[in-house]
């Protein structure tokens, strides 16, 4: 306590800066104690794609694709060729000569599509003069074809030969695609989801639209695959719909209205900012059972099996959440425009009979919990029985711009990319230290100096 009394100004400044949440300086559950800054891009870095256990590719608005080694942080290869920003990137693994090769497919605003060999850095294939820029890519491993979605849907084979394409749909174009069973494809086009079917007759492939699902009231931002039977879509106004993959029926519909807790009269502050609260579902991720949706600057965890809300945090970040990942151990990570990556843990709420605890934490908000978040869930308890809380267990601060995306290499680290042109590899300092020790002794042994 003493320190806050002594250094009130600084402490306040920090709290003000992260108005939503302030985690204490001690983060025992945060294992990322080492960072490595990767420089190489000249503009916003938007995409990260894992190539194998060791390598990943990053791409962004400068049109560059860089391949990095996650262990050393070395930039292995620079793939140059695109003249404008890259709009989509996907890895493409195929079998050739008995060996699995991983290539990269990139799409750019210069209306080109390229296939890169990340080993040699060669631009293996290139298609230019597309009619429209490609916004999303999807690889169908079972058919060994890949799809590009722009204003029309194109199907390509491994050799970059156009197999078929749909007619021009609309100016909005396809923003996201999901593979469904039985060679069906779900594509998000503005407010509706279009189900396409790929017809295979011999070596020819034809594509046709099967159905238009127009249940969303606003533009669909996110479309994800949950499991074999379900996929989900999220719209700009906070509609979360869970669909059946086979018969395309709505399994669940949630309209997430962040205003609801604000109506409880928590504070004038929130009422004042009510209109500014973003409800758009920017991103969703799923592990097959849970969905985590990034809604505005909040997070929302939904159990698709129970069809119930598991936990939510209305203000998880100071700004819009851009990317989320649900990890196996009940933890999830999110990154945001505010430049931070936060790690969350699903925790059982304290018993409702102990309201004092929330008050305690509210008063002394420096123990890793925020006063502002413990309130609303506590009030929710009577309404939603299985509700758990989403506790902040750590945050990564390093980027000075929005963190666009992150990519986890498990124990090898976490890669984040940002609008500040940088990539950061966050690593477990202890683990890295041990690795270095091993390397030292390995070197000693190699030199036969032990």
Partner 1 sequence: MISSPDLVAFTKETDFSEIVKDPSVLPEELSVPLYPYTGDTTPWSKTSGANFTKDFILLSEFSEQVGPQPLLTVPPETKACGTFDLNHFSLRIMSVDYQTSLTGPAGCGSLKLNFVEDSKVVLGDSREGAFAYVHHLTLYDLEARGFVRPLCLAYVSSDENKIIQQFQQLSAEFSKVSECLKTGNRKNFANELEIKLRDLEHTRVVLLREIEREVNNASVMCTNERERMLNGIPTLDVKLKEKSLSHRDEVKLQEKGRCEISRKAEVECEKGNRSCITYDRDEQFGGRRKNKQDKGSCPTPLADKGDELASVEKSIQEFKSLLKQVTCYRTRKLRDSEYSPYEPDDLPHSFEFDLDDLRHGQLAGPVLECNVFPCTDTPLHSLKPINSISSCRFDKRLKTLEELCDDYFHQQALQQLNSIERTFRGDTCHLYSQQLCRNLLRNLKSTNFLFEDPCDLEEEVGLQIGIAGQHSVRQPSFLPAPSILSEPVSLESYVSCVEMVPIKLELGGSSQSTAVPSYVNTPAEDNRPLTSSVVETEMENGCVVSASDCQENVEMCVSALMKTSISSGDSIEVLGTEKSFRSQGSNILMDTALQRPPPLSTTAVLEGLRQGRVTTIRTCSEDSIEVLCTTESILPEDLRASYSCAIDEESPEQETDEKDISHNQEDKQVECVYGVGNKVPGDHGGACMEDPQDFYPAVTLTPPDCPMTLTLGRSSSQDACHASELIPLSLLDEPCRIVPDDLSDCFSYRSTTASTTSECTFPTCLPKNKREGGTRRRRGRVGRAALQFLQQFPFAVHAVFSLLCGRTLVVLGSEEAAVRRLVTALSVYMPHLSRYRDGIQPWTSTPLQLTDLLNWKLIGFNRMCCFTYINMPHCLGHYSRYLSILDVDQKTLRCPVYSGTLLNPLVEPRSHFKRGNTYFMFAQSVQSKLVTTAFLLTFSHGFHTPRRPWESTWTQCFHSEIHRDDKKILNYLSELIKLHFMEVPPNVLRFSYTTNSIFKL
CA dist 71 and 74 (Å) reads 8
Please identify which residue in 221, 317, 388, 399 interacts with partner 1, judged by CB under 8 A: 399
Q: For residues 295 and 283, what is the distance between their CA atoms, to the nearest angstrom? A: 8
CB of 187 to partner 1, least distance (A): 39
Name which of 93, 154, 161 is nearest 127 in CA terms: 161
Identity of the residue, 17 or 168, whose beta carbon is nearer to partner 1 in the bound complex: 17
CA distances from 378 to 299, 355, 385 (A): 16, 8, 11
3-state secondary structure of 325: strand
Instruction: Supply angle C-alpha 407, 52, 61, rounded to 5.
Output: 50
Residue 27 interacts with partner 1 (CB under 8 A): yes or no: yes
Q: How far is the CB of 417 from partner 1 (least distance, A)?
A: 13
19 is an interface residue for partner 1 by CB under 8 A = no
Question: Burial letters for 293-318: b for 16+ Cβ neighbours within 10 Å, e otherwise?
Answer: bbbbbbbbbbebeeeebbbbbbbbbb
Per CB under 8 A, the list member of 50, 308, 319, 432 interacting with partner 1 is: 432
Query: Does 36 participate in binding partner 1 (rule CB under 8 A)?
Result: yes
Taking the C-alpha atoms of residue 216 and residue 176, their distance in angstroms, rounded to an integer, is 15
Per CB under 8 A, the list member of 19, 26, 83, 200 interacting with partner 1 is 26
DSSP 319-343: S-EEEEEE-TTSEEEEEETTSEEEE
Closer by beta carbon to partner 1, 145 or else 392 = 392
Is 43 an interacting residue with respect to partner 1 (CB under 8 A)? no
- Our finding on whether 69 is near partner 1 (CB under 8 A) is no
Q: Residue 83 gets which letter from DSSP?
A: S
Binding-site string for partner 1 from residue 300 to residue 339, where x marks contact by CB under 8 A and - marks none:
---------------------------------------x
Measuring CA to CA, which residue among 179, 297, 281, 299 is closest to residue 227?
A: 179
Measured from the Cβ of residue 448, the count of other Cβ atoms closer than 10 Å reads: 6
Quick one: 48 or 422, whose CB is closer to partner 1? 422
392 is a site residue for partner 1 (CB under 8 A): no
Residue 37 contacts partner 1 per CB under 8 A: yes
For partner 1, which stretch binds (CB under 8 A), given 76-84, 133-141, 293-301, 391-399? 391-399
Indicate whether 3 belongs to the interface with partner 1 (CB under 8 A): yes
Q: Select the residue interacting with partner 1 from 143, 398, 408, 431 (CB under 8 A).
A: 398
Report the residue number, 151 or 340, with the smaller CB distance to partner 1: 340
Q: Cβ 72 to partner 1, closest distance in Å? A: 8
Number of residues binding to partner 1, judged by CB under 8 A: 47
> Within 13 Å and on the Cβ side, how many CA atoms surround 297?
19
Q: With binding defined as CB under 8 A, does residue 437 bind partner 1?
A: yes
Torsion of CA 103, 106, 112, 116, to 10 degrees: -30
CB 38 within 8 A of CB 73: yes
Nearest to partner 1 of 7, 386 (CB atom): 7
Interface with partner 1 by CB under 8 A: which residues?
2-3, 6-7, 9-10, 13-14, 17, 24-28, 30, 33-37, 39, 73, 339, 394, 397-400, 422, 424, 427, 429, 432-434, 436-441, 443-445, 447, 449-450
């Amino acid at each position: 306590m003493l320190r806050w009394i002594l250094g009130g100004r600084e402490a306040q400044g920090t709290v003000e800066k992260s108005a939503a949440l302030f985690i204490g300086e001690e983060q025992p559950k945060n294992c990322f104690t080492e960072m490595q800054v990767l420089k190489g891009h000249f503009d916003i870095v938007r995409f990260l794609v894992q190539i194998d256990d060791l390598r990943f590719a990053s791409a962004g608005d400068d049109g560059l694709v860089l391949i990095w080694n996650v262990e050393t942080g070395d930039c292995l290869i620079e793939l140059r060729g695109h003249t404008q920003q890259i709009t989509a990137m996907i890895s493409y693994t195929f079998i050739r000569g008995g060996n699995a090769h991983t290539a990269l497919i990139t799409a750019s605003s210069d209306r080109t599509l390229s296939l890169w060999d990340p080993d040699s850095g060669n631009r293996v294939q290139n298609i230019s003069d597309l009619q429209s820029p490609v916004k999303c890519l999807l690889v169908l491993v079972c058919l060994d074809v890949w799809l590009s979605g722009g204003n029309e849907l194109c199907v390509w084979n491994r050799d970059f030969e156009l197999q078929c394409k749909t007619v021009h749909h609309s100016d909005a174009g396809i923003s996201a695609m999901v593979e469904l069973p039985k060679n069906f494809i779900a594509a998000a086009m503005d407010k509706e989801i279009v189900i396409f079917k790929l017809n295979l007759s011999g070596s020819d492939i034809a594509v046709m639209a099967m159905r238009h699902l127009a249940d969303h009231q606003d533009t669909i931002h996110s479309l994800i695959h949950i499991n074999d039977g379900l996929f989900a879509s999220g719209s700009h106004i906070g509609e979360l719909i869970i669909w059946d993959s086979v018969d395309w029926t709505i399994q669940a519909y949630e309209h997430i209205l962040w205003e609801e807790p604000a109506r409880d009269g928590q504070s004038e502050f929130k009422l004042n900012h009510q209109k500014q609260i973003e409800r758009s579902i920017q991103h969703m991720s799923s592990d097959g059972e849970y969905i985590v949706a990034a809604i505005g600057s909040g997070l929302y965890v939904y159990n698709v099996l129970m069809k119930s809300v598991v936990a939510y945090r209305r203000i998880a970040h100071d700004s819009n959440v851009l990317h989320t990942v649900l990890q196996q151990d009940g933890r999830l990570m999110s990154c945001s425009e505010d430049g931070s990556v936060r790690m969350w843990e699903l925790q059982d709420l304290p018993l409702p009979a102990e309201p004092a605890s929330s008050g305690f934490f509210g008063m002394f908000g420096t123990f890793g919990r925020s006063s502002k978040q413990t309130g609303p869930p506590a009030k929710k308890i009577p309404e939603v029985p299985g509700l758990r809380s989403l506790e902040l267990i750590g945050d990564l601060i390093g980027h000075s711009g929005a963190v666009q995306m992150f990519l986890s290499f498990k124990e090898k680290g976490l890669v984040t990319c940002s609008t500040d042109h940088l990539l950061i590899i966050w690593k477990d300092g202890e683990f890295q230290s041990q690795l270095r020790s091993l390397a030292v002794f390995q070197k000693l042994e190699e030199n036969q100096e032990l």
